[in-house]
Amino acid sequence: MTEPDGIEARLDEIERRCRPLSVEGRVADYIPALGRVPPSKFGMAIAYADGREAWIGDAEEPFSIQSISKVFSLAHALEAIGEDLWRRVGREPSGMAFNSMALLEHEDGIPRNPLINAGAIVVADALLEIRPDWTEAQLDWLGRLAESGGAAFDEEVFASEERHGDLNRSIAWYLKAKDNLRTSPEAATRAYFRACSAAMSCRELARAARFLVRPGCGPAAEHFARPGLRRRIRAIMRTCGLYDAAGDFAYRVGLPAKSGVGGGILAIEPGKFAVAVWSPALDAKGNSLAGQAALEMLVGEAG
């Protein structure tokens, strides 16, 4: 039951059943600033294509969007660069953890897809070449899309990512060695970390993602003029958005989605709505445990 009428009662029930599930997961602590977030937080927000909204719990509290930013960076890059982007990054699921380097060596420095770290670092590099201040522009643009006057930037998370980012820097150096980096490993990882350090609430995220629901949906929708852009981004979310859990999530929920280690998941029901859920405790694959359950409950037996 995902129609706007009666959705509040449905969200109430989802919160009641899913918030307690966080005890079975673990908050990400490899970025220490994320490890301090209380695991019991739970928020969910739906932004319908017609402008209606519904939300529950901690849906108005900003959290670190982390890898969810990769969807917005990809949209930005595809709009700016177009199909040439695919010369430098693939669009197949990786079946690997988000920060794995294993395939990069086999595939000669071409990351499997833009939603794993290696691919997102290539996207960050490609955007830097066009516009050195793209991460600031993206924060402004996210704020416009979310109608919130600018997405917040979490300096503490950014500093923490920089301090503990050796694996991402290794990926960037490897990309450079394989001639798939045009700026520098330092600049590309810094931009990537900056994009991941945006803080948004579930309400803001769901509103900001309305442009993916259908053409002309949400403010600044005109920013995306390329035909087929939304469908293509949703396809990559569906196949690659939850890394090595993408198949299981597709089976359970069936919506294009993107997770972040901050505990957020953004999902899109094409033509109908964008939904964001936040519960910081993660499962073994780095995806919000209660967040996945909440989306599964939301779609219920639909279809």
Q: Give yes or no: 272 in active site.
A: no
Comparison of 143 and 260: residue with beta carbon closer to ligand DON: 260
Q: Residue 240 and residue 113: Cα distance in Å, rounded? A: 7
Taking CB under 6 A as the rule, which mask of x and - marks residues 6-45 in contact with ligand DON?
Answer: ----------------------------------------
Q: Give yes or no: 251 in active site.
A: no
Q: Which of 43, 91, 114, 89 is nearest to 290 (CA)?
A: 43
**Of the candidates 73, 168, 183, 279, which one interacts with ligand DON according to CB under 6 A?**
168
Determine, following the binding rule CB under 6 A, whether residue 283 of this chain makes contact with ligand DON: no
For residue 274, the cross-strand partners are: 47, 268
What is the rounded radius of gyration, in angstroms, for the C-alpha atoms of the chain?
18
Comparison of 93 and 286: residue with beta carbon closer to ligand DON: 286
Is residue 197 a contact partner of residue 153, using CB atoms and an 8 Å limit?
yes
Q: Give yes or no: 30 in active site.
A: no
Q: Residue 226 and residue 211: Cα distance in Å, rounded? A: 12
Rounded to 10 deg, the angle between the 185-196 and 117-130 helix axes is 100
> What are the two backbone dihedrals, phi and then psi, of residue 141, each rounded to the nearest 5 degrees?
-65, -40
Residue 289 CB partners (closer than 8 Å, separation 6+): 21, 22, 24, 25, 279, 281, 282, 283
**Of the candidates 11, 196, 212, 293, which one interacts with ligand DON according to CB under 6 A?**
196
Q: Give yes or no: 178 in active site.
A: no
Q: Give yes or no: 67 in active site.
A: yes
Active-site choice (261, 275, 279, 288): 261
Chain residue whose CB lies nearest ligand DON: 67
Active-site choice (41, 69, 174, 192): 192
Taking CB under 6 A as the rule, which mask of x and - marks residues 77-106 in contact with ligand DON?
Answer: ---------------------xx-------
**Of the candidates 66, 183, 201, 292, which one interacts with ligand DON according to CB under 6 A?**
66
Q: Tell me how many degrees the CA angle 53-61-66 measures, rounded to the nearest 5.
A: 100
Comparison of 168 and 180: residue with beta carbon closer to ligand DON: 168
Residues that bind ligand DON (CB under 6 A): 66-67, 98-99, 117, 161, 168, 196, 259-261, 286
